[in-house]
Structure 1
Amino acid sequence: MAGTTPRHTDAEGVDGGVGLTALLVAASRAVETHRHDSLAQDPYAEHFVRAAPACAHWPVRIEEVPDGDDNPLWGRFA
């Protein structure tokens, strides 16, 4: 295979596939960071989420989550 160039089949970038999963984890870390009783702090998580257009509308604070802690996705992640 000499002379061949590697081809990248993942053309979706950070907004899709594994990148989207990383953004979801960052969003949950941001929610946890801003809780008054947080167990973990990640001061960069909110900035990471806000920098990606695909998740600009995602909550990064528990106050932004509809139903707060009772929300089956966002409230239970953090």
Structure 2
Amino acid sequence: MVRNPETDFFWILAGLATVASFLYFNVAEHDVGPVGLAIETRALFDVLVMGAYLGFMVAVGLGLAYQKLTSPEGQ
């Protein structure tokens, strides 16, 4: 697959959404004990993985749709 500079915006947006969700959930509850911290860390990991996966899928979908709409042979 050839890199398309026009779709870089969507990849950057997906990365920023993943980082923002991680920071939000990391700062949301920070005053917990060791057990709560372990549960929170596991939840953060789950959110990070799902956020990255969903962000990746959305970015790919938007990138492909944008590429198809803007290419001369796609119309």
Same fold per TM (> 0.5)? Answer: no
Give the TM-score normalised by structure 1: 0.31
User: Which structure features the higher share of helix residues?
Assistant: 2
Larger Rg: 2
Give the TM-score normalised by structure 2: 0.32
